[in-house]
Amino acid sequence: MKFVKMHGLGNDFVLIDFAGSGSVQVGSTETRDLKAMAQKICLRRFGIGADGLVILLPGKKARVRMRIFNPDGSEAEMCGNAIRCVAAYLYRHGLLEQDETRRINIETLAGIIIPKLIVTKEGEVKAVQVDMGEPRLERAEIPMLGPSGPVINEPLKVGSVTVKITAVSMGNPHCLVFVDIQQGSNLEPRTSNFEFPPLTELGPQLENHPAFPQRTNVEFIQVLNRSNIKVRVWERGAGITLACGTGACAALVGCVINNFTGRQATVHLPGGDLRVSWGEDNHVYLTGPAEEVFTGEF
């Protein structure tokens, strides 16, 4: 199979085009076990290595449909970094119609998502802005077990500690934990009532917490000021990643509903920065780069 390796701020993906129109066309997926394929391809030592496998298919509600599989084989509803990569791939490989060269409809499990290409005068993709749709704050829509209503700064017992969380869905579930990291210190994040365990301990515990029936992504957020936040990510089915697009969007929404920031902010992630805004139309807009690293055959 031919593939393209891409990344958004170091959140990397193997993209395989089954849509039948691209330079990496490989035909039908009908006889392929996509879960097993993702597990094999995403291995860092024995496969290509990636945070996810992206499959492009002909769409039913749009010309292109994106499916994304985590390294553990589970399928994600959406991924902000991956969909930017898909938009850039379609543009760079000449797979768009003339009227699609700025705004593209892409079908996902979270619905139709519309990336907008930001192109230089020389025709290079400088960045991709994605209309991520409306955030969902109702507990049942995240989904999370418990009484109806939003989940804002709510205590949740995790092992031997209790952590206050905010929950947001951006088409996929996110559990947000606000922390205060001592500037210039290598200490783990702290809150007023307990010292955080390492990310590798608390991340998987929250991901698999019984309160989240479909598991959850986890974001640890440090508010720097009203327009800048720092985020560390534990992704459902992938573990620690350098960036998460839906996570950055959920983090901003969580900051706004907790009155920590305004409706626009730069989200600083280990892999780089994303710009996120929550518009007056209630849609969240994500802007960031998408890079093609190499092509190959698996």
Catalytic residue (one of 42, 85, 175, 244):
244
Name 4's bridge partners: 15, 295
Does the active-site annotation cover 79?
yes
Catalytic member of 79, 85, 175, 255: 79
Q: Which are the contacts of 231, defined by CB distance < 8 A and separation ≥ 6?
A: 219, 220, 221, 222, 244, 247, 248, 251, 267, 268, 269
What are the structure tokens assigned to 183, written together? Answer: 């500037």
| 201 Cα distance to chain centroid | 21
Our answer to whether residue 244 is catalytic in this structure is: yes
Query: Are 274 and 266 a contacting pair, CB within 8 Å?
Result: yes
CA separation for the pair 255, 229 (Å, rounded): 9
Distance CA 294, CA 291 (A): 9
**Residue labelled with tokens 């936040």:** 229
- What positions carry a catalytic annotation? 79, 244
